[in-house]
């Protein structure tokens, strides 16, 4: 049973409902790439995560925006200009993600035996 189905089955479980919003690998990577605080364009994000497909990057950005973790700012220019940056909610989750990264760094030899 995947997490996204669990949040429907257990609607009052906060951990399932929150984690299902951004616990996939692409969401976490995008949040980490945006942690500099500087707005980034689609191409810059793609350059920083070269193994993500364009389709998955677009889908993940829409999901993160929908759940108020990033902000998408579109400029009325030709050619169109769109920038992405972390929302306050997205900035708030960064210390937790960093703790996970630190934990992986200190335990990777045990995990990847």
Please name which of 58, 67, 59 lies closest in space to residue 87, comparing C-alpha atoms.
67
Domain residue spans of the chain:
24-111
DSSP for residue 50: T
Q: Give the residue-averaged pLDDT of 88-102.
A: 92
CATH entry 1.10.10.10 includes domain 24-111: yes
**What is the CA 30 to chain-centroid distance, rounded?**
4
For the whole model, what pTM was predicted? Answer: 0.81
Statement: residue 71 has pLDDT above 80: yes
Q: What is the pLDDT of residue 52?
A: 96
Statement: residue 97 has pLDDT above 50: yes
Please name which of 97, 98, 67, 65 lies closest in space to residue 84, comparing C-alpha atoms.
65
Please name which of 54, 44, 26, 50 lies closest in space to residue 85, comparing C-alpha atoms.
44
Q: What is the pLDDT of residue 74?
A: 95
Q: Mean pLDDT, the chain, as a whole number?
A: 87
């Amino acid at each position: 049973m995947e997490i996204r189905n669990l949040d429907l089955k257990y609607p009052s479980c906060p951990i399932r409902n929150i984690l299902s919003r951004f616990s996939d690998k692409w969401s976490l990577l995008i949040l980490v790439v945006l942690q500099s605080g500087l707005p980034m364009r689609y191409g810059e994000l793609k350059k920083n995560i070269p193994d993500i497909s364009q389709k998955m990057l677009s889908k993940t950005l829409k999901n993160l925006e929908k759940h108020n973790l990033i902000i998408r700012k579109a400029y009325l220019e030709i050619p169109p200009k769109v920038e992405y940056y972390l929302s306050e909610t997205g900035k708030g989750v960064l210390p937790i993600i960093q703790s996970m990264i630190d934990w992986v760094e200190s335990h990777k030899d045990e995990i990847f035996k």
